[in-house]
Amino acid sequence: MLSKCFKDSGFEHLAVDHKSNRFHSYVTVCNVDLSTDHGWAFMFHIIEHYDVRFVHAAPPCGTCSKAREIPLGPGGGPQPLRSMEHPLGLPHLEGKDLERVRSANAIYDGLTKFLTECTARGIPWSVENPTSSYLWMIPCFVDLMANTPCRFYNYDTCAWGSTRKLKRSFLSTMPEMTGIEATCPGNHEHAPFGRTRQPDGTFKYATSDEAAYTKQLCLQLVSVVQNALNLFPQKIEADHHSVAINHKGMIALQKQPAGRRMPPLISEFAAFSTVVASSMPATNPKGCLTACFQHVPEGSKLLSFSKRGEGETSFVLKFGIYRSPIQWVEKSLMLQHPFDNFHAVPDQMLDVLFYILTTAPADVCKFRISKLKLWMKWAEELDTREKEHKQRLDPEVGRVLASKRLLLLRKIADSLDWPDTHLFDEIDEGFKLIGIQDPSNIFGLEPRPPQSSEGELWANAKFIRPALIGKVKIQILMPRASLYGMLQWKRQTTIIG
Ligand SMILES: [Zn+2]
């Protein structure tokens, strides 16, 4: 729900989840096993190479819950797994319980290291858990609180639209998070706690409904983050820097991305307006004003609202103002067709096109000859070193690359300021087939989590290898089918080309 609210506000988001989450998801979720080192390596890769503005974490609280200590009568409820003296897990734990606590501890450990790195990079963050959770007493969290400028922001879940009253807390480095602090207004009934028997005979505990956030809380959180960082992507119109909202999450799932890759050519709203009011205005089911409110015209969309501060009764309301039909037509007539505005053509190519179109053919020819002459001179100068370099390579690699002038290629690339600076080392040493790739600076970044670490791959090699060889053998047995497939593919690509 939180990711969906950020997405609806026009943010690019990456929703990361642990493999087995019982909640239905509203957005594309990237599954990463955060109890492993390689799972966290992927997360560090994301904050290193992407423009991350905010991180929110809701670590699993099942093993930390004090709800486990509420006596539930005969038959008993789940037993506590931690205590004040043993926040990392009670000493007598064994079997499944021990495994769960260990896995949760590994997640907490990775998360605190990750948030420390976020702080060092100036990325604000928040972590959510019940106020009474043992999570906050675990040594790695105690260290995190001591070493980063964060504090607690508490709220009652019912104040944000939940049917039950639970005290929950955000630990955050963002001072504006005070906007989520709220206490029960005391004017409503609360749904009971406890457990209910499910049709299949298992018990369902009231707290298991409460882990997800209400829409009200999510909208408030989006509004807090937007105002704190002064980021309003709702204003964005198509330009070549912003591609894909859901696109990246789909790639992480190894699915073909569908839907629009570019933001709309005309933004949804013509303008935004913020007003302070003592009461909420009347809106229709779509959240649009049914009448003019202060200076905001009828039909404008209420995007967010928040109390002005603790103990205040007035609200800060934010509206998006739509264009009139005439304004819409006027704006659309001024648009350029996306194919005409060169957004897909790289700068270097535009430079070359300009040079060729504005220079006499003879001069272009002379320029090309001089470049080739220079490169041939470099090739001659590098000849001896080139041979020595080949001898240093792995013999198999050296054999394949025997006819290639690797040093010359590197020198030419340097002279052109070629952005992929790792390429030549990778040619020499071999390309990594698994793990996280460093960015090439040529191709766009795609957050694709590795499915296993190098260690796991070797451990599983025993099973993967025969399966792969089996697959290849089947293809050898059916040469006609695959040849036909290849021809089909070639035909299709030729048509596209
Ligand atoms: Zn309440």
pLDDT tens digits along 36-51: 888 888 889 888 888 8
Lowest-confidence pick of 112-121, 145-154, 258-267, 445-454: 258-267
CA of 312 to the centre of ligand 1 (A): 18
CA of 364 to the centre of ligand 1 (A): 77
pLDDT band at residue 205 under the 50/70/90 scheme: low
CA of 189 to the centre of ligand 1 (A): 7
CA of 495 to the centre of ligand 1 (A): 64
The SS3 call for residue 44 is helix
- Per residue in 47-64, pLDDT tens? 888 888 999 998 887 788
DSSP 281: P
The arithmetic mean of pLDDT across residues 465-479, rounded, is 70
CA of 136 to the centre of ligand 1 (A): 24
CA of 21 to the centre of ligand 1 (A): 28
φ and ψ at residue 193, rounded to 5 degrees: -90, -175
CA of 193 to the centre of ligand 1 (A): 13
End-to-end Cα spacing for the chain: 42
Highest average pLDDT, of 178-182, 262-266, 313-317, 486-490, comes from 178-182
pLDDT band at residue 341 under the 50/70/90 scheme: low
Q: Which residues contact 44 (CB under 8 A, 6 or more apart)?
A: 114, 117
Lowest-confidence pick of 187-196, 401-410, 482-491: 482-491
The arithmetic mean of pLDDT across residues 418-435, rounded, is 82
CA of 410 to the centre of ligand 1 (A): 67
CA of 220 to the centre of ligand 1 (A): 18
- Per residue in 361-371, pLDDT tens? 999 999 999 99
- Per residue in 97-130, pLDDT tens? 888 888 889 999 999 999 999 999 999 999 999 9
CA of 86 to the centre of ligand 1 (A): 32
Output the pLDDT for position 305.
Answer: 75
- Whether 223 and 306 have beta carbons less than 8 Å apart is answered as yes
Highest average pLDDT, of 194-208, 322-336, 449-463, 482-496, comes from 322-336
**Mean confidence (pLDDT) of the chain:** 79
Total residues belonging to the chain:
497
CA of 384 to the centre of ligand 1 (A): 81
CA of 195 to the centre of ligand 1 (A): 20
- pLDDT of residue 143 exceeding 90, the answer is yes
Between 65 and 352, the higher pLDDT residue: 352
Between 397 and 18, the higher pLDDT residue: 397
Output the pLDDT for position 495.
Answer: 38
The SS3 call for residue 429 is helix
CA of 301 to the centre of ligand 1 (A): 28
CA of 74 to the centre of ligand 1 (A): 29
- pLDDT of residue 442 exceeding 80, the answer is no
Between 375 and 443, the higher pLDDT residue: 375
- Per residue in 212-249, pLDDT tens? 688 888 888 988 898 888 877 665 554 434 444 345 55
Output the pLDDT for position 212.
Answer: 67
- Per residue in 155-191, pLDDT tens? 998 888 888 888 999 999 999 898 888 888 888 888 7
Burial of 134 (0-12, 13-18, 19+ CB in 10 A): buried
DSSP 289: B
Output the pLDDT for position 356.
Answer: 93
CA of 163 to the centre of ligand 1 (A): 8
Q: Which residues contact 21 (CB under 8 A, 6 or more apart)?
A: 29
CA of 183 to the centre of ligand 1 (A): 8
CA of 355 to the centre of ligand 1 (A): 70
CA of 158 to the centre of ligand 1 (A): 5
Q: Which residues pair with 17 in a beta bridge?
A: 31
The arithmetic mean of pLDDT across residues 283-307, rounded, is 87
Output the pLDDT for position 478.
Answer: 56
Highest average pLDDT, of 225-229, 354-358, 471-475, comes from 354-358
CA of 184 to the centre of ligand 1 (A): 4
Output the pLDDT for position 128.
Answer: 93
- Give the chain's domains with CATH numbers: 32-230 (3.40.50), 262-338 (no CATH), 347-449 (no CATH), 452-497 (no CATH)
CA of 247 to the centre of ligand 1 (A): 39
The arithmetic mean of pLDDT across residues 283-309, rounded, is 85
Residues of the chain with pLDDT > 70, as a percent, come to 77
- pLDDT of residue 10 exceeding 70, the answer is yes
- The Cβ of residue 471 has, within 10 Å, a number of other Cβ atoms equal to 9
Q: Which residues pair with 301 in a beta bridge?
A: 288, 320
CA of 52 to the centre of ligand 1 (A): 35
- Whether 68 and 79 have beta carbons less than 8 Å apart is answered as yes
CA of 305 to the centre of ligand 1 (A): 20
pLDDT band at residue 436 under the 50/70/90 scheme: confident
CA 20 to chain centroid, in Å, comes to: 18
Q: What tokens does 349 get?
A: 């190519």
